[in-house]
A and B are shown apart, each in its own frame.
Chain A
Amino acid sequence: MTQLVIIVIYLLLLLGVGALANHWFRGDSQDYMLASRTIGPFFLLMSLFGTTMTAFALVGSTNKAFAAGVGVYGMLASASGIIHSLCFFLIGIKMWSFGKKFGFTTQIEFFRARLENDFIGLLLFPVLIGLIIPYLLIGVISSGGLVFQVTDGLVPAWAASLVVCLVVMTYVFFGGMRGTAWANALQTMFFMAMGVITFVLIAKELGGKDTLWESMRAASETVLQNNPTQLARTKLPPPVYFSFLLIPLSVAMFPHVFQHWLTARNANAFKLPIIAHPIFIMVVWLPCVMIGVWASGYQGLLTAEIPADRVLASLVHQLASPMLGGLLAAGILAAIMSSLDSQFLCLGTMLTNDIVNHYHRGERISERKEVLIARSFIVAVVAVTYLLSLVAPPAIFSMGIWCFSGFAGLFPLALAAVYWKRLTAAGAIACVLAVAAAWAVMFAQSDFGADSHYAFPQDPVSLGVATLPPMMPVVALVALSAATLVIVSLITRPPSQETLDKFFE
């Protein structure tokens, strides 16, 4: 019951943020979708970090470290610290400048203008939406499962998911991008704080010494004695470790991240997010990975049969008070919702701008009506997502890495659109088609995500002087995408000089 009360208080707090943001709403579509491009460095940092970190940062990192050891940090966290900032620096700032200069709100508007081609929008739209929907479903289903678990079944998962969807929808509906950015800031601070507090309390309980320092040493010594392989990386094949370096490239093509970039007040607002992102990742991931590694060293603490997604929850249940359990659950919900809100807003914005506005003929849609359309789409997107979450198969969870791989496969397109004058519409279309086709084939070969060890190539391939080892599919997707884009662009007619002058002068 304590846990439920804490979760309810947290959700009410979020509704309050939405109401406050609505008070500041100026009534026009640019304010609703982009907060009138007034977001400063702090809120941009919090929005981008909260949006790119899902519940996996808190729960998945602990679970994965429990199973695979300390290498999880390097494979997933420090790689993201370098690559996410690289995407913000190389692509985000440029996209922001084009957005401000030409008034873009969505990625598709940018690509249509940059490539002088309408079809690229029609092609990208279903691809981007198709890749983002499983990501949304994972968040909605996880939130229901979490509340069901921490309340010992008092709240059914379907009801908890419904409440989470309604809360997120409410503050996005009323607060728009400003409400989303403010809620993201609150949620990011909350889940970061919860991660650190959980770490301190579990470390003291596991180590059992008087001070935190001594307890941490005792916990690590126990792992060294009972399960030393967890302190090295022998369970992680180096080619897989390398492959994961490419997964964070996905942020360059996330439509919701693009929308956050465009909210920046000025280019300087990017500096804090770029610099602080690796540190923020370290603050969240390092304690969670340590907890997972320590838990694996205490025989009898957690059984080998424990479900892979229950390690952190079980530890908190055994070692901490119901109060901490409730706070941690709220922290995990915060991590989930800080991604869901941006994605709901982004899909509503894309449907409004890329479909309704773009294909609307006749008198221009008024600002007021445009906001109404965006809000209606947000309600529809939330409703469809929730209904899909009720019938989605459990295999949906294995799609997370596939969604990220698909977005990462489109990274060469984002990079070339910003820096390569010779990129053509045909090159971009061929690139998207090649990625979509290769993704679909590999996904089917992996038994639709069920084979979590699926690699491409599936066996080592001898290239004469070297051997290509089995790697994550993302490597093949990025390589194919880049090769297709370059080859087709070079054999097709270059873009017009006017367009090049607009984007490269």
Chain B
Amino acid sequence: MKYLFWPLLALLIVLHQDYWQWDDATLRFGFLPQALAYHACLSIAAAVFWAWACRFCWPLDGEPAKGQLAKGGGRSEAASSATASSSTSEEAPS
């Protein structure tokens, strides 16, 4: 399913650029302008897409382990690790 992520996202963005109905002033349900009705549906479609992406394309395989640098708050150690020769042995996000 992961291979569908980028095509579906691209489709969502293409659908967002709806120049084909730029001049359409039709009222849906008698009160909702076409542009608003369309984009409200697009907002709902975006939520459905993100629900799908969270289910099938989650970017992490598991919870990362807290590494040595996080111990004791890890504030300045994290920054100082920038130039440190990395003898740290933290697990990467699995």
Asked if residues B36 and A234 are in contact (CB atoms below 8 Å), the reply is: no
Closest A-B pairs by Cβ, 9 of them = A103-B74, A498-B86, A103-B70, A505-B92, A231-B25, A278-B46, A216-B31, A282-B43, A217-B30
Q: Is A324 interfacial (CB 8 A cutoff)?
A: no
Q: How far is the CA of A502 from the CA of B78 in the complex (A)?
A: 12
From B31, B69, B76, A219 is in contact (CB under 8 Å) with B31
User: How many chain A residues have a CB neighbour from B under 8 Å?
Assistant: 85
Q: How far is the CA of A77 from the CA of B74 in the complex (A)?
A: 38
Residues of A within 8 A of B88 (CB): 502
Q: Is B4 interfacial (CB 8 A cutoff)?
A: no
Q: Is B2 interfacial (CB 8 A cutoff)?
A: no
A residues neighboring B (CB under 8 Å): 28-30, 70-71, 73-74, 77-79, 81-82, 85-86, 89-90, 93-94, 97-98, 100-105, 108-110, 112-113, 115-118, 121, 213, 216-217, 219-221, 224, 228-229, 231-234, 238, 241-242, 245, 266-267, 270-271, 274-279, 281-282, 286, 289-290, 293, 353-354, 357-358, 360, 364, 367, 370, 496, 498-499, 501-505
From A82, A102, A276, A499, B70 is in contact (CB under 8 Å) with A102
Residues of B within 8 A of A216 (CB): 30-31
Residues of A within 8 A of B64 (CB): 97-98, 100-101
Asked if residues A78 and B31 are in contact (CB atoms below 8 Å), the reply is: no
User: How many chain B residues have a CB neighbour from A under 8 Å?
Assistant: 60
Nearest residue, chain A, Cβ from B77 = A103
Q: Is B73 interfacial (CB 8 A cutoff)?
A: yes
- Please judge, given known A-B contacts A82-B12, A109-B79, whether A278 and B47 are in contact too, CB under 8 Å: yes
B residues neighboring A (CB under 8 Å): 9, 12-13, 16-19, 22-25, 27, 30-36, 38-40, 42-44, 46-47, 50-51, 53-54, 58-60, 63-67, 69-71, 73-83, 85-86, 88, 90-93
Residues of B within 8 A of A367 (CB): 73
Asked if residues B18 and A100 are in contact (CB atoms below 8 Å), the reply is: no
Q: How far is the CA of A116 from the CA of B58 in the complex (A)?
A: 28
CB distance from A231 to the nearest CB of B (A): 4
Asked if residues B43 and A281 are in contact (CB atoms below 8 Å), the reply is: yes
Asked if residues A224 and B59 are in contact (CB atoms below 8 Å), the reply is: no
- Please judge, given known A-B contacts A102-B81, A271-B54, A505-B92, whether A70 and B69 are in contact too, CB under 8 Å: no
